[in-house]
């Protein structure tokens, strides 16, 4: 008992709290989530310009107080941006529908994804308070270990010669832990890396502005990453009964090499107005070429706060409840899973020392 008290004394003096936080967001703009990794059945909405898939997941377990924080983290990011033609052709073939004769399909696709774990340290680096104005700046540094890699750049085209037949030619640069484009068994690579974040919080009377820059700088250094630098060529026939005959060829280079992967920044800005009755916030998350604007309305009650959030790009509606020690939120584009194309989930728990 004495040993335990001595061990906990430094943390007790700091007056901070242990915490666990988890959040995940996944969305696409074409197909129900429940079918996107399988047969692409369900209601299909052809994209206006590009087929987009986003996935962010983040788990943190650690300790924090007003001045610093330290935590163990697990993060995964996935970004897919493909041409409208790529999406249309994939859906048509998977559903054994008639092709548009003589249509030329653009097969452009970019894929970036990773899973990492590591340690994250945060420190308040600036604090200003005078009258009604408050400004605080925090910096964060993470040391990372890469666990899973997906990086692809595809350029090519396909041509439908009749309603059942198409051919394609494409060039692909691909780094991976698992090859999802054709059958090839490889040893998974690993990586070490780092990232740096910064958050700026300002408050003036009833107004506040927050800016969070995640991965403002960040890289993963993959060692012996499997890669394919290949040309894909195929004459594929779609039989009337839905069966498909394939005649693909793959040629080029396969091997292993080092890869320096830049971790793309995520920048979230929020402008809020707050009074005793409600809080309203206008926000935007920018990642690569995608913006996710959203509006949040919070209503405080006696011991908790309820909020409703609407994200406009993927039309995700999220509801949440929180108090001083716990929060939970869940959201989706549509409560009907057969047609829903986005999902948002998260929780947090805090325990004071």
Q: Can you give the residue ranges of every domain in the chain? A: 2-266
Name the 3-class secondary structure at 265.
Answer: coil
What is the DSSP secondary structure assignment for residue 194, as one 8-state letter?
Answer: E
pTM of the model: 0.89
Phi/psi zone of residue 80: left (φ > 0), alpha (ψ -120 to 50 degrees), beta?
A: beta
Residues 6+ apart with CB under 8 A from 241: none
Q: Is residue 119 within 8 Å of residue 178, measured between CB atoms?
A: no
Q: Is residue 283 within 8 Å of residue 268, measured between CB atoms?
A: yes
Q: What are phi and psi of 164, to 5 degrees?
A: -120, -5
| Pairing outcome for strands 248-262 and 326-332 | unpaired
Of 164, 163, 166, the closest CA to residue 100 belongs to: 163
Quickly count: other Cβ atoms within 10 Å of residue 353's Cβ.
14
CA distance 52 to 108: 12
Quickly count: other Cβ atoms within 10 Å of residue 140's Cβ.
20
List the pLDDT tens digit at each of the 353 positions of the chain.
444 444 444 555 567 899 999 999 999 999 999 999 888 988 999 999 999 999 999 999 999 998 999 999 999 999 999 999 999 999 998 898 999 999 999 999 999 999 999 999 999 999 999 999 999 999 999 999 999 999 999 999 999 988 888 889 999 999 999 999 888 889 999 999 999 999 999 999 999 999 999 999 999 999 999 999 999 888 666 555 555 555 668 889 999 999 999 999 999 999 999 998 999 999 999 999 899 999 999 999 889 999 999 999 999 999 999 998 999 999 999 999 999 999 999 999 999 87
Residues 6+ apart with CB under 8 A from 4: none
Of 132, 178, 137, 174, the closest CA to residue 153 belongs to: 174
Tell me which residue has tokens 């280079």: 253
Q: Is residue 74 within 8 Å of residue 115, measured between CB atoms?
A: yes
CA distance 108 to 41: 22
Alpha-carbon separation of residue 315 from 81, 90, 218, 236, 266 (angstroms): 18, 24, 30, 36, 19
CA distance 238 to 248: 14
Alpha-carbon separation of residue 210 from 120, 202, 204 (angstroms): 20, 6, 12
Angle at 64 between CA 63 and CA 66, to 5 degrees: 165
What is the DSSP secondary structure assignment for residue 276, as one 8-state letter?
Answer: S
Q: What's the pLDDT at 181?
A: 87
Q: What's the pLDDT at 182?
A: 84
Beta bridge partners of 331: 318, 344
Q: Is residue 281 within 8 Å of residue 295, measured between CB atoms?
A: yes
CA distance 124 to 139: 6
Q: What are phi and psi of 180, to 5 degrees?
A: -95, -5
């Amino acid at each position: 008992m004495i040993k335990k008290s001595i061990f906990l004394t430094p943390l007790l003096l700091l007056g901070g709290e242990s915490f666990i936080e988890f959040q995940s967001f996944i969305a696409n703009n074409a197909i129900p989530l429940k079918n996107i990794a399988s047969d692409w059945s369900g209601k299909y909405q052809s994209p206006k310009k590009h087929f987009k898939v986003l996935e962010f997941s983040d788990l943190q377990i650690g300790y924090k107080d007003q001045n610093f924080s330290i935590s163990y983290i697990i993060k995964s990011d996935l970004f897919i941006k493909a041409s409208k033609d790529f999406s249309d052709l994939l859906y048509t073939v998977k559903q054994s529908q008639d092709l548009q004769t003589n249509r030329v399909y653009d097969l452009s696709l970019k894929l970036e994804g990773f899973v990492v774990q590591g340690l994250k340290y945060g420190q308040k680096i600036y604090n200003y308070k005078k009258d009604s104005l408050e400004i605080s700046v925090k910096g964060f540094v993470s040391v990372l270990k890469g666990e899973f890699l997906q990086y692809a750049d595809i350029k090519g085209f396909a041509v439908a010669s009749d309603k059942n037949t198409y051919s394609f030619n494409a060039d692909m640069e691909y780094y991976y832990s698992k090859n999802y484009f054709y059958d090839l068994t490889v040893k998974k690579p690993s990586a070490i890396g780092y990232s740096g974040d910064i958050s700026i919080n300002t408050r003036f009377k009833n107004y506040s502005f927050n800016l969070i820059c995640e991965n403002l700088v960040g890289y993963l250094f993959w060692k012996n990453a499997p890669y394919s630098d290949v040309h894909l060529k195929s004459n594929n026939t779609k039989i009337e009964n839905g069966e498909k005959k394939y005649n693909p060829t793959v040629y080029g280079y396969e091997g292993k090499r080092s890869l320096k992967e830049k971790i793309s920044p995520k920048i979230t800005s929020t402008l809020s107005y707050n009074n005793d009755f409600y809080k309203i916030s206008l926000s935007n998350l920018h990642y690569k070429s995608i913006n996710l604007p959203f509006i949040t309305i919070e209503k405080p009650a006696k011991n908790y706060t309820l909020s409703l959030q609407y994200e406009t790009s993927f039309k995700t509606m999220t509801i949440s409840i929180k108090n001083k020690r716990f929060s939970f939120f869940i959201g989706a584009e549509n409560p009907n899973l057969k047609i829903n194309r986005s999902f948002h989930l998260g929780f947090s728990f805090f325990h004071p020392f």
